Amino acid sequence: MDNNELKLTSAATAYLGLGSNLGDRLANLERAVGLLSRPLKILRISPVYETEPVDVPEQGKFLNLVVEAQTHIAPADLLKLIKGMEQVVGRGKAGSGQPRIIDIDILLYGNIRVNSENLVIPHPRLSRRAFVLRPLNDLVPKLRHPGNRKTMAELLLALGDIKGVYIYPASVSP
């Protein structure tokens, strides 16, 4: 997308969840973070976690992390940008539920709530996914979910058992 076409809003802090379970997973995350750092101001990056796949048929473990970024790009345009980046890094034809080179989700965008056909913010499965709540809890334990008003720490605690989420001995920088 041409930068001139982007709709700009006042600055918001957004949290993006990244996952990879195909190919060189760490390199895929690094490449995606590199691409994100051009249009977004990356503030912090969570540790990398190796996680058991959830909600999908049996497949390889994921590496997951969460990026905290400041942006003026409106949510719908941000979605278009990250979808383009997925193609660049190599999403290929992998459909929903298939192993993927990279998956980028908008988890939170300031305090806003979006409910359109192709974009829902906060991400609808955030509250039940340890692979995003664990890294969100590292970055912003006291941040409240704009819908249910629970903090990331409370949501993680409510999951009770977060087995299947292991800290990975490598990090990603912008």
Ligand X SMILES: Nc1nc2c(c(=O)[nH]1)N=C(CO)CN2
Ligand Y SMILES: Nc1ncnc2c1ncn2[C@@H]1O[C@H](COP(=O)(O)OP(=O)(O)OP(=O)(O)O)[C@@H](O)[C@H]1O
| Cβ–Cβ < 8 Å for 24, 67 | no
Stretch that binds ligand X, among 3-11, 32-40, 45-53, 166-174 (CB under 6 A): 45-53
Catalytic residue among 31, 100, 129, 134: 100
Burial 139-152 (b: 16+ CB within 10 A, else e): bbeebebeeeeebb
> Do the bridges between strand 62-73 and strand 41-45 make them parallel or antiparallel, or are there none, so unpaired?
antiparallel
Rounded to a whole number of angstroms, the minimum distance from the CB of residue 50 to ligand Y is 17
Tell whether residue 105 is a contact of ligand Y (CB under 6 A).
Answer: yes
The mark string for 123-142 relative to ligand X (x by CB under 6 A, - otherwise) is --------x-----------
**Which of ligand Y, ligand X, none is residue 68 near (CB under 5 to 8 Å by kind)?**
none
| Cβ–Cβ < 8 Å for 20, 29 | yes
DSSP string for 19-65: EE-SSSHHHHHHHHHHHHTTTSEEEEEPPPEEE---SSSS-PPEEEE
**Which of ligand X, ligand Y, none is residue 131 near (CB under 5 to 8 Å by kind)?**
ligand X
Stretch that binds ligand X, among 27-35, 49-57, 77-85, 136-144 (CB under 6 A): 49-57
| Cβ–Cβ < 8 Å for 94, 100 | yes
Tell whether residue 50 is a contact of ligand Y (CB under 6 A).
Answer: no
Tell whether residue 86 is a contact of ligand X (CB under 6 A).
Answer: no
How far from chain centre, in Å, is Cα 21? 14
25 catalytic residue (yes or no):
no
Among 30, 50, 103, 138, binds ligand Y (CB under 6 A): 103
Q: How far apart are the first and last CA of the chain?
A: 21
The residues that are catalytic are: 91, 100, 103, 105
Contacting positions for ligand Y (CB under 6 A): 79, 96-97, 103, 105-106, 118-121, 123, 125
Contacting positions for ligand X (CB under 6 A): 19, 51-56, 62, 64, 103, 131
